[in-house]
Amino acid sequence: MNKLQGKTIVVTGVSSGIGSDTAKLLRLQGARVIGLDRNDPTLSLDGFVKADLSEQAAIDAALRLLPERVDGLANIAGVPGTVPVDLVARVNFLGLRHLTQKLAERMPEGGSVVNVSSILGHEWPARANLHKALAETPHFEAGLAWLARNPVPQDTCYQYFKEALIVWTLTQSQKLFLAKGVRMNCVAPGPVFTPILGDFVQMLGNERVQADAHRMKRPAYTDEVAAAIVFMLGDDARWISGVNLPVDGGLASTYL
The pLDDT of residue 129 is 97
The CATH number for 8-244, chosen from 3.30.470.20, 3.40.50.720, 3.40.50.1400, 3.30.540.10, is 3.40.50.720
Q: Which of 158, 160, 221, 255 is catalytic?
A: 158
Residue 255 is a catalytic residue: no
Q: Give the pLDDT band of residue 201 (cuts 50, 70, 90).
A: low
At 190, the pLDDT band (50, 70, 90 cuts) reads: very high
pLDDT at residue number 226 = 98
Residue 212 pLDDT: 77
* Separation of alpha carbons 240 and 212, rounded Å: 30
Region of 139 on the Ramachandran plot (φ > 0 left; ψ -120 to 50 alpha; else beta)? beta
Q: Tell me 192's DSSP state.
A: B
Over range 146-163, report the average pLDDT.
97
Q: Tell me what pLDDT residue 73 has.
A: 98
CA atoms within 13 A on the CB side of 36: 30
Average pLDDT over residues 1-23: 92
Q: What is the mean pLDDT of residues 62-69?
A: 98
pLDDT above 70: percentage of residues in the chain: 94
Quickly state the pLDDT bin for 56 (edges 50, 70, 90).
very high
Q: Could you give the CA distance from residue 63 to residue 191 in angstroms, rounded to a whole number?
A: 31
Q: What is the pLDDT of residues 106-145, one digit of tens each?
A: 999 999 999 999 999 999 999 999 999 999 999 999 999 9
